[in-house]
Amino acid sequence: MSAGVVETSRGEYTISTDPARLDVAAIGRFLGQSYWAAGIPAETLRRSLAGAICFGLFHGTEQVGFCRVVTDRATFAWLCDVWIEEAHRGGGLGQWLVETVLAHPDLQGLRRFLLATRDAHSLYARCGFRPPVRPDAFMEIHRPDIYRAAAAPTNAPPPQGHDAHAARPAEPPSPAPAPRAHAGQDLWTKVDGALEAWLAPADPALAAAAAAAAQAGLPEIAVAPAQGRFLEVLARATGARRMLEIGTLAGYSTIWLARALPADGRLVSLEIDPERARLARENLDRAGLAPRVEVITGPALESLAGLCAAGVAPFDLVFVDADKQNSRAYVEQALALARPGTLVVVDNVVRDGRVIDPATGDAGVDGVRAMMDFIAAHPRLRAAGLQTVGAKGYDGMLLAVVEDAAPGGGVSG
């Protein structure tokens, strides 16, 4: 039996489960901007609302947020379609909405409450959600492209590239925004899964590092497993004994790279966020790599200046994967810490193709473009850019080798 309508207010905002209050056109607009339900047919939307407990968030009488819960009201529930209008984000409404869901009388005593999110983990973690203890126990039939076949009107705004659950709390800006939805995403994800299964099967240390990052609510901006293996192969192929990583997060790519080191090799990784650096050290320790890896906390430009001042030996491989607005400065500094033959790898240089647009207004894109100009004109760098697709969407990597400074060693020919 249903508990009936639940309504709660906070200042000018109200959350209500009254189906009569729902603004179906507004919900359609919200979902039309999402990457997970863009193009949902009106009839499917109507049925999805009818079959769920719907929570509308209202500012006065205007609906400015939404989520729904699919449930048997006894054992199981699935939270989905969480949306807060852009102008109303950042004030804790998302958390309030989720807390209201969890307090609903029909959703008490459930054995399992599930949701899927791309990078709003920290929001849900604050409400008690945790990564599944046994992710391998879950199976799914997932058709993420199902609505895209019914093409959206050509003048509709493109699906937004951020979270599945747009009620993301205020967080330091992510250096690599989540990829936008692409028609081929489902296939790219499957192929990445197959490549992972063939070539980069999960192992306990990497799985634990990824789980710890999710548990800590970190955004999903680490390299994918297939890319991690790619980095490891590059490191092995170049015989790198000394590596520098700019952008550690929880140490996932660090583990891949450090595994290519010889026993007396060394990897220095730079991370601005002390909590992330701490987590990375824990993950590296668990992977048995702590003796070979040093994580330096602080703004990378300062840490790089410190390494230069300390006169450390040159690095054989540099992986740049931090805030993209400083990309040019990172490559410049990497050069000061390099030798002829050093390989510099820069991640996220294509950014959904936005790299070719000088007018995105996105400091990260502008940073990558400035880095490209710098590399193109640099006499000691011979570089290649590769577009990539995979579980993390459409992006790209730049590979540059440092050439000899001697006359004739330039790259202009």
Ligand X SMILES: C[S@@+](CC[C@H](N)C(=O)[O-])C[C@H]1O[C@@H](n2cnc3c(N)ncnc32)[C@H](O)[C@@H]1O
Closest distance to ligand X from the beta carbon of 173 (Å): 9
Residue 179 touching ligand X (CB under 6 A): no
> Is residue 300 part of the contact set for ligand X (CB under 6 A)?
yes
Q: Does 253 bind ligand X (CB under 6 A)?
A: yes
Choose, by CB under 6 A, the member of 276, 324, 328, 380 that binds ligand X: 276
Smaller CB separation from ligand X, 56 or 247 = 247
Pick the piece of the chain touching ligand X (CB under 6 A) from 39-47, 153-161, 271-279, 383-391.
271-279
323, 352, 395, 403: which one contacts ligand X (CB under 6 A)? 323
> Cβ 348 to ligand X, closest distance in Å?
7
- Please say which residue, 79 or 322, places its beta carbon nearer to ligand X: 322
Q: Measured from the CB of residue 200, what is the shortest distance to ligand X in angstroms?
A: 14
Nearer to ligand X, 97 or 221 (CB): 221
247 binds ligand X (CB under 6 A): yes
Using the minimum distance from each CB to ligand X, give the nearer residue, 5 or 363.
Answer: 363
Tell me which stretch binds ligand X (CB under 6 A): 9-17, 54-62, 128-136, 218-226. 218-226
Could you tell me the smallest distance in angstroms from the CB atom of residue 135 to ligand X? 18
103 touches 93 (CB < 8 A): no
Q: Please identify which residue in 270, 338, 345, 365 interacts with ligand X, judged by CB under 6 A.
A: 270
Does 252 participate in binding ligand X (rule CB under 6 A)? yes
Number of amino acids touching ligand X (CB under 6 A): 20
Looking at the Cβ atoms of 85 and 271, the one nearer to ligand X is 271
Paired sense of beta strands 13-16 and 53-59, if any: antiparallel
Q: Least distance in Å: CB of 75 to ligand X? A: 37
98 makes contact with ligand X (CB under 6 A): no
Burial 254-278 (b: 16+ CB within 10 A, else e): bbbbbbbbeeebbbbbbbbeeebbe
Binds ligand X (CB under 6 A): choice among 57, 69, 101, 221: 221
Residues 344-403 binding ligand X (CB under 6 A) are none
- One-letter-per-residue 3-state SS of the chain: CCCCCCEEEECCEEEECCHHHCCHHHHHHHHHHCCCCCCCCHHHHHHHHHCCEEEEEEECCEEEEEEEEEECCCCEEEEEEEEECHHHCCCCHHHHHHHHHHHCHHHCCCCEEECCCCCCHHHHHHCCCCCCCCHHHCCCCCCCCCCCCCCCCCCCCCCCCCCCCCCCCCCCCCCCCCCCCCCCHHHHHHHHHHHHHHHCCCCHHHHHHHHHHHHCCCCCCCCCHHHHHHHHHHHHHHCCCEEEEECCCCCHHHHHHHCCCCCCCEEEEEECCHHHHHHHHHHHHHCCCHHHEEEEECCHHHHHHHHHHHCCCCEEEEEECCCHHHHHHHHHHHHHCEEEEEEEEEECCCHHHHHHCCCCCCHHHHHHHHHHHHHHHCCCEEEEEEEEEECCEEEEEEEEEECCCCCCCCCCC
Compute the least distance from the CB of residue 117 to ligand X, in Å. Answer: 18
299 touches ligand X (CB under 6 A): yes
Nearest residue (CB) to ligand X, 272 versus 375: 272
Q: Return the residue of 115, 267, 272, 344 that touches ligand X, per CB under 6 A.
A: 272
Report the C-alpha gap between 205 and 208 in whole angstroms. Answer: 5
Q: How far is the CB of 309 from ligand X (least distance, A)?
A: 17
**Interaction site with ligand X (CB under 6 A):** 175-176, 221-223, 247-249, 252-253, 270-273, 276, 299-300, 321-323
